[in-house]
Amino acid sequence: MLFTRGFIPALILLGGCSGSSLDPLNQGDVILAFGDSLTYGTGVAADLSYPAVLESITGYSVIRSGVPGEISSAGLKRLPGILTKENPRLVVICHGGNDVLRRLNRQQTEANLRSMIELVRQHGAQVILIAVPKISLFPSAAKFYDAIEEDTGVPIEFDILSQLQTDSKMKSDPIHFNRVGYRKMAEAVRDLLKDNGAI
């Protein structure tokens, strides 16, 4: 599966289609990290949250906009105001985890994420996603992320949350990460941005 996900975008790029690639960020561009408690950084101080670490390892201004406990429908309502206020060049969406925990309708979660992508693009910004794992003995990204990637061309980090959720050494409680876990999350986002040409 990991080979397939890396191989297909390479073929797309070789074929001359921009596909999942991103435009390079310029100095002074703002990145918006949008989501729930994992974006807020529950379990650590603010300067150890993944957005803060992402800022330190990329050199770009990263706005932390995470609301603990927020479900994706509420995030969708909140997003337009944040886009207007912060005017980001790129948005990192990590949302839907509370939908999973509350066992809300998966089709609605997918629809909310697709609407978020559309809102970001209408605002003139680029967007990437961090896939939220489904509840399972062996967590993995919910299947609808494959469809979102195929339909929208949005770059998606499929694996980092699943990996961190299964490693107790990375966690501050059963759901949230510690400083090491959030740093690994930031590094995965940085790598996705690099792989797709944004930085």
What does the pLDDT look like over 173-199, one tens digit per residue?
999 999 999 999 999 999 999 999 999
CATH number of the domain within which 157 lies: 3.40.50.1110
User: Does 16 map to a domain?
Assistant: no
Domain residue limits at 73: 26-193
Polymer length of the chain: 199
Place of tokens 């050199």: 59
What is the rounded average pLDDT of the residues 27-42? 98
d(CA 148, CA 92): 15
Inside any domain, residue 58: yes
Residue 135: inside a domain: yes
Q: Are 161 and 38 in contact (CB under 8 A)?
A: yes
pLDDT for residue 15: 36
| E strand map for the chain | 30-35, 61-66, 90-94, 126-130, 156-157
Q: Evaluate whether residue 129 is within a structural domain.
A: yes
Q: Is 198 among the domain residues?
A: no
> Is residue 2 a part of any domain in this protein?
no
pLDDT at 36 over 70: yes
Torsional sign, CA 48, 52, 57, 59? negative
pLDDT of the residue at 137: 63
* Token output for 147: 């469809």
Helix (H, G, I), strand (E, B) or coil at 129: strand
- Rounded Cα gap, residues 169 and 35, in angstroms: 23
Residue 50, number of CB atoms within 10 A of its CB: 31
SS3 73: helix
% of the chain exceeding 70 in pLDDT: 89
86 lies in a domain? yes
Helices and strands, counts by H and E, the chain? 9, 5
What's the pLDDT tens digit per position in 61-104?
999 999 999 999 999 999 999 999 999 999 999 999 999 999 99
Q: How many domains does the chain have?
A: 1
The verdict on residue 5 lying in a domain is no
Predicted TM-score (pTM) of the model is 0.89
Cα dihedral 170, 176, 182, 186, rounded to 10, equals 120
